[in-house]
Structure 1
């Protein structure tokens, strides 16, 4: 191997964060040809993840490492959201969370690549492409193993939980998650609620925040939020709340 090629692979491996994924398309665009990548693979420097991505040999790719690749190299809007985001932010420590499931959200009509979908992550990956909130609103950066990824901030994450409720997310658990969010920033909550297009999410969010007696709710101007018209039956055989005009589970009312 020439000194130039040796420097090239050494430079790549030195800058490769632990357990992070690199997209084949990004590597090729940055001067690593398919032929060169094939040579690196044969030399056991890099290991393919199905077709379309690589991990540094000896590392175990993580779902956060996959998100890093999508966000920083593929310019995807995919991000950890819902309960997974709250867990990464340390906002769900009082509840038991397993790594058996991981929730990702993305932009409307945005698909996750087949290499991510087909890889065995030793957990179920649940992906939802939606437009009920603007693409970049309410996200925050976190550090994982030496690289940075964008995840839903706490306010957006609980709204994503409510978006999935009640079919894919229990409302009682949403209430338990909301209980821990006593220091949300009212201005960000205001922005998210005004931008949110789901009447169900907005009404449930305000209902739960009110039920938790969160002090920040006093600084949210509900008059500027479009709450929609008419009643919303969130669950069958529930209890009707006249303030927010929603039918909610009996076990939530009794809390």
Structure 2
């Protein structure tokens, strides 16, 4: 964890509170973890594996005269070039740095630093490749079709269909997505999860006649762990 400063007492304080593992504040299940006190990165996300955004927090740091006192630097490691450059596009209102397609390489490794005055905040876990931070937009156009009723009429099966996120280029194979369907009886807190799959449709078996069900879907990149947000729900009742 390199930390630089012209003031050794300040260096001691930064080293005391900033420890590896605190950088991106969402774990693999998108659950928040404890935030450090010093300036730190919250998360980096790409929706379409072409651009990405990173968000930061000043923590409890009180010596910022203006938001612009905090600067973001990134290192893009390529075989031909590796040097630190400043964030290409700031959004200080949302504490966000945006990397457009001209500043994004799919398989290059990126590392990030936060600079405040003469202090550099750096965490080795603030390094990643683009596929590792992809969390796709939700699937769209969810609908369902009744497949059959049981002979007793007490249960039924439905086929749920959807379209990929419009932002994800799945037709050319640039992104290959896995989908996770979850459903529950309306107002229940117990979601049931179906096995992830690549198809844009999945059957839900054995729903109880006369009861209403809620269904939503999310997706992730194949062979990676980070899911995007859930889609809007659809409701099923027979």
Greater Cα radius of gyration, structure 1 or 2 = 2
Same fold flag (TM > 0.5):
no
Q: Which has the higher helix share?
A: 1
TM-score (norm: length of structure 1) = 0.25
Q: Which has the higher strand share?
A: 2
TM-score (norm: length of structure 2) = 0.27
Which structure has more relative contact order (CA 8 Å, sep 6+)? It is: 2
